Amino acid sequence: MVMTTDKTGRIIWHDLFTKDLKRSMKFYEEVADWNYVTEHATDFAWGGGEKDFVLALLDEEAGAGFTETPSELPDGWVAYIEVPDVDAMTALAETLGGTIVREPFEVPSVGRNALLRDPRGALFGVSLSRHNFPAPTKQFGVEVCAGGSRGFPAAFYAELFDWTVETATDAAKRVRVIGPSGDVVAEVSTFYERTDSKALWIPTLKKADLESAERAGAKVLTTHSKPHSQPGNVVLRDPAGALACLPYGSPPLKG
């Protein structure tokens, strides 16, 4: 078993669960400049049996996968955080008030994963990589954690991933989540509460712009601040229904 320790505590993968695979692929190809490789699994991680799985790439770096939405799971993006022991972290999350959505499972030739919800109900994954590829950096920016009606469960994530929360010193006073390596993992936001009360993690598309997203059929839901006045995010719903963020204002924080 091989795991690169510098990935621990970082978001190392995203899955998109979608009911319209072709439509989702077309949107992200047009908006984020992604291209795709289709792999055939003989023991598919999401339901077993033989099935195709789409890898989304940018400049030959794979950081996301697309699949038809598995039964009993919602449409949308799921972020995975690297951990040294998926089984131990899954058990710990439950003792800390989280919920196990899917018990630890193997992804052949990739690693071991589990799906969880934090105490507010936000869905995320934990993963143990069994390959030497570094954490991807090209497709996604800093994740956005929309808080719903309850505050960010800092103690929960600190126990699981050694994450800390701090307020940035810039004019926007953004609340940031810092990983064990010192990188910015996420920004905590309450702005999305105006349109959806659910707590959730929303990925930020690194190489995308609002004009191309709207042209490709995305619906803009809300913004963090007035466009171009200070750093923030546009929250949009892609044509297949998944939520994503686009940064605007000054350059986004590097994660």
Q: Are residues 111 and 14 in the same domain?
A: yes
The 10s digit of each residue's pLDDT in 69-79 is: 998 899 999 99
Q: Which CATH number does the domain housing residue 33 bear? A: 3.10.180.10
Give, rounded to a whole angstrom, the gap between the first and last alpha carbons of the chain.
Answer: 27
**Both 38 and 80 in a single domain?**
yes
The residue range of the domain holding 160 is 143-248
> What pLDDT sits at residue 201?
95
Per-residue pLDDT of 127-156, as tens digits, reads: 999 887 888 999 999 999 987 656 889 999
- Least Cα distance to 213 among 58, 26, 76, 20 occurs for 26
Tokens of 67: 């699949």
In a domain, 49, yes or no: yes
CA distance 132 to 129: 8
Q: Are residues 159 and 240 in the same domain?
A: yes
Q: Is residue 254 part of a domain?
A: no
Please state the pTM of the whole predicted model. 0.89
In terms of domains, do 151 and 124 share one?
no
CB 71 within 8 A of CB 98: no
pLDDT of residue 250: 38
101 shares its domain with 166: no
- Please give the single-letter amino acid code of residue 30: E
- Of 129, 160, 179, the residue that ends a domain is 129
pLDDT for 190 equals 62
Q: How many helices (H) and strands (E) does the chain have?
A: 4, 16
- Verify that 164 and 224 share a domain, yes or no: yes
Asked if residue 134 belongs to a domain, the reply is: no
Q: Note whether residue 253 is domain-resident.
A: no
Burial letters 50-64, b for 16+ CB under 10 A, else e: ebebbebbbeeebbb
Q: How far is CA 157 from the centre of its chain?
A: 15
User: DSSP string covering 27-64, please?
Assistant: HHHHHH--EEEEEEESS-TTTSSSEEEEEEEETTEEEE
User: Based on the domain organization, do 97 and 147 belong to the same domain?
Assistant: no
Residues of the chain with pLDDT under 70: 1-5, 42-43, 148-150, 168-173, 190-197, 223-232, 248-255
Indicate the residue among 129, 152, 170 that finishes a domain: 129
How many whole angstroms separate alpha carbon 1 and alpha carbon 85? 12
Integer angstrom CA distances of residue 94 from 87, 117, 145, 163, 165: 11, 9, 20, 18, 22
Query: φ, ψ for residue 58 (rounded to 5)?
Result: -140, 120
Domain count, the chain: 2
Same domain, 185 and 112: no
